[in-house]
Amino acid sequence: MSIGCRDLRVTAGGRQLVAVPALDIADGETLAILGPNGSGKSTLLRALAHLDNASRSGTVLLDGQLATTPDLRRAVAAVLQRPVLQRASVLDNAAAGLRLRGVGRAEARQRTEPWLDALGVAHLAQRNARTLSGGEAQRVAIARALAVGPRVLLLDEPFTGLDATTRTDLLADLHAALTHLSASVLLVTHDRDEARSLAQRTALLVNGEIRQTGSTAEVFDAPADPDCATLLGFTAHLPPALTGLDTLVVARPERCRPLTNGAPPPPDAVVFEGTVRRAVPLGGATRLDVDTTTGTVSAVTTAIIAARPGDPIRLAIAAEHLRAMSTDVA
Ligand SMILES: Nc1ncnc2c1ncn2[C@@H]1O[C@H](COP(=O)(O)OP(=O)(O)OP(=O)(O)O)[C@@H](O)[C@H]1O
């Protein structure tokens, strides 16, 4: 089932938190909403499901038809940032969504067990859910949402607070589970890897407004404006005064190459100079924060370089790694 909205606005305390003229997620599609902290991601997700208490206007659509709150209750399952689990067994917690929809206890348990298995927590079925770790609880919450066979699945930062290994494993398990699901899926996240792993399309949310939407691959390769560029990791912003080009250009810091010992820049590269402000060890790489005449530019390099604060430095970025920002938004 597809979900969408038209002219969806949420205000609270006299402030507009979200304003989305139109958003659509097709049946079988996963759309990521990527945005920084406080950009309105959770507010948008809650408004789509009519889960919010804030003041909302506009319409939510299911399969193109105006959706009422009861329609949404039937169609939507949501996994929120911090799952609430009852003092009961893991199996009964995971079966709770089906029970709420009127399914008998035995059948609900039977239909839930494969999802506990798919999410790698079948061995915990009889445990008291209150004794689970954060990652285990998150898996149970996802199993609970998937078990109801939702036609729309809303995921609000489902990987928050998980260690790197647990997160990678859960990403893989969720990816596998979603491929078997016939639903529209909205994934709210501030993490680029999560969007890239799970979503066919990505929308970028900045200050409550969607600035860019498209296939995940296209969006990640061609940011629409400087805010989108920062969100996508193109954090080196080089204005014309620094490069001599006509427009602001952006690049990923790992594409900024320090030119040490008079090394020649690659052909077509943009080259600029600055002074090392600090070198930040990243473990296996170093981030050099470089003060230029137009601001600080960071470069991330795996080369071993002896750069000390105050040292002059030249940086080069090959033309293929630069993205031009149109002048009207720069
Ligand atoms: N009920 C409310 N009243 C006033 N302001 C609110 C209310 N709910 C949310 N906000 C504000 O709206 C903005 C968006 O909040 P929201 O939780 O949607 O952002 P987010 O992108 O999900 O952030 P995070 O990544 O930190 O979870 C924030 O500035 C938040 O403080």
Distance 42 CA to ligand 1 centre (A): 7
Stretch (H or E) spanning 232: none
Structure tokens at 328: 């009207």
Which whole number is the average pLDDT over 189-200? 92
Q: What pLDDT does 329 receive?
A: 43
User: What is the layout of strands, in order, in the sheet containing 3-12?
Assistant: 15-25, 3-12, 55-62, 65-66
More confident residue, 284 or 7: 7
Four-way CATH pick for 3-227: 3.30.360.10, 3.40.190.10, 1.20.120.80, 3.40.50.300: 3.40.50.300
Read off the pTM: 0.89
* pLDDT one-digit tens code per residue, 270-290: 999 999 999 998 888 999 999
Q: What is the pLDDT of residue 1?
A: 94
**CA separation for the pair 9, 22 (Å, rounded):** 11
Nearest CA to ligand 1 atom 13: 38
The pLDDT score that the predictor gives to residue 266 is 82
Confidence of residue 298 (pLDDT cuts 50, 70, 90): very high
Rounded to whole angstroms, the Cα distance separating 135 from 162 reads 6
Summarize pLDDT for 86-142 with one digit per residue, the tens: 899 999 999 998 998 899 999 999 999 998 988 889 999 999 999 998 888 988 999
* pLDDT band for position 327 (cuts 50, 70, 90): low
DSSP string covering 239-292: -HHHH--SS-EEE-GGG-EEE-TTPPPPTT-EEEEEEEEEEEE-SSSEEEEEEE
Average the pLDDT over 258-275 and give the result: 86
Question: Of all atoms in ligand 1, which is nearest to the CA of residue 17?
Answer: 12
Cα→Cα distances 33→28, 206, 223, 330, Å: 16, 10, 15, 23
Which range (135-149, 179-193, 225-239, 260-274) has the least confidence? 260-274
| Amino acid 169: pLDDT | 84
For the Cβ of 55 lying below 6 angstroms from any atom of ligand 1, the answer is no
Asked if residue 51 has its Cβ within 6 Å of ligand 1, the reply is no
Query: To 10 degrees, what angle do helices 105-118 and 164-179 make?
Result: 120
Is 80 exceeded by the pLDDT of residue 213? yes
Pairwise CA distance, residues 91 & 145, whole Å: 13
Q: Is the pLDDT of residue 305 over 90?
A: no
Q: What are phi and psi of 310, to 5 degrees?
A: 95, -15
Domain boundaries, the chain: 3-227, 234-324
- Among protein residues, the one whose CA lies closest to atom 31 of ligand 1: 38
Ligand 1 contacts CB of residue 189 (under 6 A): no
**Domain 3-227 and domain 234-324 have a common topology:** no
How far is 203 from 29, CA to CA, in rounded Å?
13
Reply yes or no on whether the pLDDT at 65 is more than 50.
yes
**CATH T-level topology, domain 234-324:** OB fold (Dihydrolipoamide Acetyltransferase, E2P) (2.40.50)
DSSP state of 130: G
Ligand 1 mean position, distance from CA 39 (Å): 7
| pLDDT score, position 174 | 84
Single-letter code of the amino acid located at 16: Q
Mean pLDDT over the full length of the chain: 91
Residue from 43, 187, 207 whose mutation best tests the ligand 1 pocket (most atoms within 8 A of CB): 43
pLDDT band at residue 330 using 50, 70 and 90 as cut-offs: very low
Residue 54 Cβ inside 6 Å of ligand 1? The answer reads: yes
**Predicted pLDDT of residue 260:** 78
Assess: ipTM above 0.90: yes
Tell how far the Cα of 23 is from the centroid of ligand 1, in angstroms. 19
Residue nearest to atom 26 of ligand 1 (CA): 37
Share of the chain above pLDDT 70, in %: 99
